[in-house]
Chains A and B, each alone.
Chain A
């Protein structure tokens, strides 16, 4: 049994026994359900008003009830909700070691500290990948239930690609949440960072700098800030990967070198 396997086993056990993953799964389930509800309303706003789903005064002027809209909403929702919900999970995976004071039990083991940190990252990445798959397929199920028009395999695959890439980019950026959970020895600094980058991403995207700001890239990719005139350049993707890589390196370095005096 090698060290990574042991560390991975421990991380999976800790995550399984926690109720957090269930809560986050419930949180993400809202996304396809709300998207489906919007589709129902958009399909027949008058009926929706009569049924009391929306207020009689509500004015729905934009959007159409079809598969591209439904899948587009899922991708947008994943990039925004993922920014916070993935951060909560990441902050928990790293920050709980400090709030439970179990960090000191990880520091002088035959398994290298960096191996333990890698196991945590692999867990986070695998989990976010599974969540993205869940959102997509649950979204397809909801879309099928509300009988959306305009289905094509091409649209479904394109949406799948967009959603999965947006989710992966969001997951990569969690390396900085991991760093702040470690550096700040708890959840709060990590969550503070997540909210700060969410706000920063929105502001800079509105100002037109979004494609160069890693935290804006997933939302821009999912056309959160408007339809893309042309596809995102490789520089945008590269900025996310580079920044994420630095976050991973900083987290590893911190666990290797920082004083663990508490």
Chain B
């Protein structure tokens, strides 16, 4: 297995009675990237993350984290990995500071001020002496992130980090993760069932559905998906396709519609309209559209978010 990968998963299979949670999954996360792991609820995201962390025993497959093979016995490079799995939990009778002090000691961090630093970074100063049991879900989420980051990990695994956060909180966490990856070079694997939560942040996105990784996009692929296109509906699409191609446009046919993706067509749709009318193929639809990633995701998974 290559050490260029922060996470290297090969043929991972895990099932529970009556359901295959993850089925022959191959997943590679490059060092230094933010990988968005998307899927509907129950798609297999959390099972994959738990397997990466050695919390569950897969039936098949190999997992390597930061170059170390992961077994089910808890051994792994955990001093270099931070994680937050599902709803973050904390000891309710302990204060935020005490919960983080436990994490500091467990990670053998000598710098006693590290707790204050991470409290400040996660904007938890107001709540530092508050018992965790009295925190709102959003602040509990912040505490979970603080615990995941206290030891300055090289790899961060976040399972639905936006859960429970208000829109401002989501933006804040996004900014924090961006800063972490760009300034400190942390690799992040972040799962979500909400595409908009990861599409602005991720360098790559993988879509998992029914335990299978069904699509993966790199930065270029994501940009293509985000880009605008001119959608045209005509009576004879094949003829029009040939016509537009001969005029030098990049075009493809999707679900009976023609999509022109080149910049000149997008810049002046009226020119395309004129060309079609003059050639005797007046369009019944000509619209500048932006493929909605959310729609794309739903179309792939056939589900409801």
Give chain B residues whose Cβ lies under 8 Å from the Cβ of A111.
Answer: 106
B50-66: which have CB < 8 Å to A?
A: 50, 53-57
B16 to chain A, nearest CB (A): 7
Which of A101, A102, A105, A260 is most buried by chain B, counting CB atoms within 10 A of its CB? Answer: A105
The answer to whether residues A107 and B47 also contact, given A6-B108, A17-B98, A100-B89 and a CB cut-off of 8 A, is: no
Chain A 125-158, CB-CB to B under 8 Å as 1, else 0, gives 0000000000000000000000000000000000
A118 to chain B, nearest CB (A): 13
Q: Quick check: is B244 within 8 A (CB to CB) of the other chain?
A: no
Instruction: Please measure, in the bound complex, the distance between the C-alpha atom of A256 and the C-alpha atom of B271, giving whole angstroms.
Output: 68
* Contact assessment for B50 and A260 in the assembled complex, using a CB-CB cutoff below 8 Å: yes
The answer to whether residues A108 and B56 also contact, given A100-B92, A102-B89, A256-B74 and a CB cut-off of 8 A, is: no
* Contact assessment for A110 and B78 in the assembled complex, using a CB-CB cutoff below 8 Å: yes
The answer to whether residues A102 and B16 also contact, given A6-B108, A10-B102, A261-B47 and a CB cut-off of 8 A, is: no
* Contact assessment for A261 and B55 in the assembled complex, using a CB-CB cutoff below 8 Å: yes
Q: Quick check: is A259 within 8 A (CB to CB) of the other chain?
A: yes
Name the contact of B53 in the complex, choosing from A3, A13, A108 (C-beta under 8 A): A108
* Contact assessment for A257 and B91 in the assembled complex, using a CB-CB cutoff below 8 Å: no
Q: Quick check: is B94 within 8 A (CB to CB) of the other chain?
A: yes
Name the contact of A13 in the complex, choosing from B78, B89, B98, B147 (C-beta under 8 A): B98
A258 to chain B, nearest CB (A): 9
Give chain B residues whose Cβ lies under 8 Å from the Cβ of A110.
Answer: 78-79, 106-108
Instruction: Please measure, in the bound complex, the distance between the C-alpha atom of A17 and the C-alpha atom of B98, giving whole angstroms.
Output: 10
Give chain A residues whose Cβ lies under 8 Å from the Cβ of B53.
Answer: 107-108
Q: Quick check: is A7 within 8 A (CB to CB) of the other chain?
A: yes
Q: Quick check: is B24 within 8 A (CB to CB) of the other chain?
A: no
Closest-by-CB residue of B relative to A112 is: B74
A102 to chain B, nearest CB (A): 5
Q: Which of B80-88, B167-175, B225-233, B256-264 contacts A (4 or more CB under 8 A)?
A: B80-88
Q: Quick check: is B90 within 8 A (CB to CB) of the other chain?
A: yes
Closest-by-CB residue of B relative to A260 is: B55
B130-184: which have CB < 8 Å to A?
A: 147
* Contact assessment for B106 and A261 in the assembled complex, using a CB-CB cutoff below 8 Å: no
Give chain B residues whose Cβ lies under 8 Å from the Cβ of A114.
Answer: 74
Name the contact of B54 in the complex, choosing from A1, A101, A108 (C-beta under 8 A): A108
Instruction: Please measure, in the bound complex, the distance between the C-alpha atom of A100 and the C-alpha atom of B131, giving whole angstroms.
Output: 14
Instruction: Please measure, in the bound complex, the distance between the C-alpha atom of A17 and the C-alpha atom of B22, giving whole angstroms.
Output: 40
Chain A 1-35, CB-CB to B under 8 Å as 1, else 0, gives 10101110110011001110000000000000000
Closest-by-CB residue of B relative to A110 is: B79
Chain A 236-259, CB-CB to B under 8 Å as 1, else 0, gives 000000000000000000011101
Give chain B residues whose Cβ lies under 8 Å from the Cβ of A10.
Answer: 102, 105-106
A187 to chain B, nearest CB (A): 15
* Contact assessment for B94 and A108 in the assembled complex, using a CB-CB cutoff below 8 Å: no
Name the contact of A261 in the complex, choosing from B56, B87, B89, B93 (C-beta under 8 A): B56
* Contact assessment for A9 and B54 in the assembled complex, using a CB-CB cutoff below 8 Å: no
* Contact assessment for B93 and A108 in the assembled complex, using a CB-CB cutoff below 8 Å: no
Instruction: Please measure, in the bound complex, the distance between the C-alpha atom of A18 and the C-alpha atom of B54, giving whole angstroms.
Output: 30
* Contact assessment for B91 and A261 in the assembled complex, using a CB-CB cutoff below 8 Å: no
B173 to chain A, nearest CB (A): 19
Closest-by-CB residue of B relative to A101 is: B89
Q: Quick check: is A43 within 8 A (CB to CB) of the other chain?
A: no
Instruction: Please measure, in the bound complex, the distance between the C-alpha atom of A255 and the C-alpha atom of B91, giving whole angstroms.
Output: 19
B78 to chain A, nearest CB (A): 5
Closest-by-CB residue of B relative to A255 is: B74
Taking A102-B89, A108-B78, A109-B106 as known contacts, 9 extra A-B pairs with beta carbons closer than 8 A to each other, sorted by chain A number, are: A3-B108, A6-B105, A13-B94, A100-B92, A105-B89, A107-B53, A108-B54, A111-B106, A257-B72
Query: Mind listing 15 A-B residue pairs with CB under 8 Å?
Result: A1-B108, A9-B102, A14-B94, A17-B93, A100-B89, A101-B89, A107-B55, A107-B74, A108-B55, A108-B83, A113-B73, A255-B74, A256-B73, A257-B72, A259-B56
- Hey, which bits of chain A sit against chain B, CB under 8 A? 1, 3, 5-7, 9-10, 13-14, 17-19, 100-102, 104-105, 107-114, 255-257, 259-261
